[in-house]
């Protein structure tokens, strides 16, 4: 679907809400949530198939109400929320009447190490008083509530047990959106937030006190894989466009598809797309089985993000100047693809963890097999 100009805001809202209504009527609404919450109850493996189709269009996941960060927040509230929290926050999110954000990253410390978080919360009677600074909080500009991670246990021996999660209503006194940070693909709701004497009732503690790190990691694992599912959609779209261009562009005596140099680009992209799909499906299968999936998700996240960058880059190359322009979706896809190597853990963090798990597996068993998917080959 073509993006509508902001000057035609009324038409923009009308078209998108109309598409959401069609998705609900067609029973395609909320595919990742259980039926009791109005969803389709699909597994992670089944969701891979849905996301890999829906994300071929810019608004696809949003139309089905399975977009980031709301998808991950729904899972988090479902598994960690109290009955009252689910009724107040999860219900409207599932019905498409609310939007949310996940506020963890801070400018003063490395975003890939949540144990360094400086935003802190102090208990004052029946309220928590929170002060801190967050940034690159996706969707904060449009959100009606945030899941906020803050340090509550200042002297706790294990830093992984020092943080807690809170639900914050937006707007609230003490929650200030400083700006939407301009990125390579424009100003799209990745916000900087200043938190000053923000008061949150004790009933808005999400999960157990000191359980913020565990909650965050439980949320981010499947969320990373959901990103990969959507990136596969973009990679496949770019490859389809590359082949279409190669079949229809004539130069120096033949169409581009008959030239070996172009065939190599197509072949490399096809193999990487195949690898991406297999990695995502296997990681999703392990999540569905309740197996330890951390290593598989790390490997998939790293590989798919980089494959996406390479495939879109090749498509731009085959399109030439047209691909570099904004007359096709490729330029926009290219800008978003670069973000994939930073989102939910930079490449280098995942490589470090993958290596650690491989080394540990060899030390423990004399084989790297369990760290390489635990496959029977």
Q: Which of 9-13, 185-189, 240-244 ranks highest by mean pLDDT?
A: 240-244
Q: What is the pLDDT of residue 158?
A: 61
Residue 1 has pLDDT above 50, yes or no: no
Q: What is the pLDDT of residue 12?
A: 82
First to last CA, the chain: 43
Q: What is the pLDDT of residue 13?
A: 85
Query: For a pLDDT cut of 90, what percent of the chain falls above it?
Result: 88
Sign of CA pseudo-dihedral 292, 90, 202, 123: positive
User: Which residues, other chains included, contact 118 with Cβ-Cβ below 8 Å and sequence gap of 6+?
Assistant: 106, 108, 109, 132, 133, 151
Question: What's the CA gap between 28 and 41, in Å, rounded?
Answer: 11
What integer is the mean pLDDT of 90-118? 94
Q: Where are the domains of the chain?
A: 6-98, 101-206, 214-371
What CATH class has 6-98? mainly alpha
- What's the DSSP call for residue 101? E
Q: What is the pLDDT of residue 6?
A: 55
Residue 9 has pLDDT above 70, yes or no: yes
Q: Do 6-98 and 101-206 share a fold? A: no
What integer is the mean pLDDT of 267-277? 98
- Helix (H, G, I), strand (E, B), or coil: what is residue 175? strand
Residue 269 has pLDDT above 60, yes or no: yes
Question: What's the CA gap between 97 and 82, in Å, rounded?
Answer: 20
Confidence band for 112, pLDDT divided at 50, 70 and 90: confident
Pick the CATH number of 214-371 from 3.40.50.150, 3.20.20.140, 1.20.140.10, 3.20.20.70: 1.20.140.10
Exposure string of 12-29, with b = 16+ CB inside 10 Å and e = fewer, is eeeeeeebbeebbeeebb
Question: What's the CA gap between 47 and 284, in Å, rounded?
Answer: 9
* Mean of per-residue pLDDT scores for the chain: 94
Q: What is the pLDDT of residue 28?
A: 97
Say which residue, 113 or 30, is predicted with more confidence: 30
For the chain, give the longest Cα–Cα distance. 80
Q: What is the pLDDT of residue 159?
A: 65
Q: What is the pLDDT of residue 2?
A: 45
Q: What's the angle, vertex CA 169, arms to CA 167 and CA 173, rounded to 5?
A: 120
- Helix (H, G, I), strand (E, B), or coil: what is residue 252? coil
Pick the CATH number of 101-206 from 3.30.413.10, 3.30.70.141, 1.10.10.10, 2.40.110.10: 2.40.110.10
Residue 4 has pLDDT above 60, yes or no: no
Q: What is the pLDDT of residue 189?
A: 81
Token pair of 234, please?
Answer: 């973009």
User: Which residues, other chains included, contact 86 with Cβ-Cβ below 8 Å and sequence gap of 6+?
Assistant: 77, 78
Q: What is the pLDDT of residue 252?
A: 97
Q: What is the pLDDT of residue 152?
A: 94
Encode pLDDT of 19-68 as tens digits: 999 999 999 999 999 999 999 999 999 999 999 999 999 899 999 999 99
Half-sphere exposure of 294 (CA within 13 A, CB side): 14
Residue 207 has pLDDT above 70, yes or no: yes
Token pair of 268, please?
Answer: 């490399």
Encode pLDDT of 145-169 as tens digits: 999 999 998 765 566 679 999 999 9
What integer is the mean pLDDT of 189-208? 96
Burial group, residue 234, by CB count within 10 angstroms (0-12, 13-18, 19+): buried
Confidence band for 184, pLDDT divided at 50, 70 and 90: confident
Q: Of 285, 305, 309, whose CA–CA distance to 374 is shortest?
A: 285
Q: Of 154, 144, 299, 162, whose CA–CA distance to 221 is shortest?
A: 299
What integer is the mean pLDDT of 175-199? 92
What integer is the mean pLDDT of 300-309? 98
Q: What is the pLDDT of residue 229?
A: 98
């Amino acid at each position: 679907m073509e993006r509508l100009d902001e000057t035609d805001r009324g038409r923009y809202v009308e078209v998108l809400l109309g598409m959401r209504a069609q998705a609900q009527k067609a029973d395609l609404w909320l595919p990742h949530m259980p039926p009791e919450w109005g969803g389709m109850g699909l597994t992670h493996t089944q969701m891979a198939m849905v996301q890999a189709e829906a994300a071929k269009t810019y608004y696809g996941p949003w139309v089905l109400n399975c977009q980031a960060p709301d998808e991950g927040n729904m899972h988090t509230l479902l598994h960690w929320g109290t009955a009252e929290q689910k009724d107040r926050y999860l219900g409207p999110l599932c019905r498409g009447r609310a939007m949310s954000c996940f506020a963890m990253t801070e400018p003063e410390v490395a975003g890939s190490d949540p144990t360094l978080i400086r935003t802190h919360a102090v208990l004052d009677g029946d309220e928590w008083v929170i002060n801190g600074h967050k940034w690159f909080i996706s969707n904060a500009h449009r959100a009606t509530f945030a899941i906020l991670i803050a340090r509550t246990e200042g002297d706790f021996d294990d830093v992984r047990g020092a943080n807690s999660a809170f639900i914050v209503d937006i707007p609230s006194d003490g929650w200030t959106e400083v700006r939407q940070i301009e990125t390579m693909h424009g100003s799209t709701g990745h916000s900087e937030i200043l938190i000053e004497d923000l008061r949150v009732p004790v009933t808005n503690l999400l999960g157990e006190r000191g359980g913020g790190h565990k909650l965050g990691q439980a949320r981010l694992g499947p969320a990373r894989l959901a990103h990969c599912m959507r990136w596969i959609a973009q990679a496949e779209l770019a490859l389809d466009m590359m082949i279409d261009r190669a079949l229809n562009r004539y130069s120096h005596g033949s169409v581009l598809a008959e030239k070996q140099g172009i065939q190599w680009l197509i072949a490399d992209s096809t193999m990487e797309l195949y690898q991406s799909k297999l990695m995502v499906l296997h990681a999703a299968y392990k999540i569905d089985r309740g197996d330890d999936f951390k290593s598989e998700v790390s490997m998939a996240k790293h590989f798919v993000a980089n494959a996406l960058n390479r495939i879109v880059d090749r498509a731009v190359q085959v399109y030439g100047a047209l691909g570099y322009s904004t007359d096709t979706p490729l330029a926009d896809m290219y800008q978003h693809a670069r973000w994939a190597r930073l989102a939910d853990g930079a490449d280098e963090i995942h490589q470090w963890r993958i290596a650690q798990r491989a080394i540990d597996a060899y030390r423990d068993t004399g084989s790297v097999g369990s760290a390489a998917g635990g496959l029977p080959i």
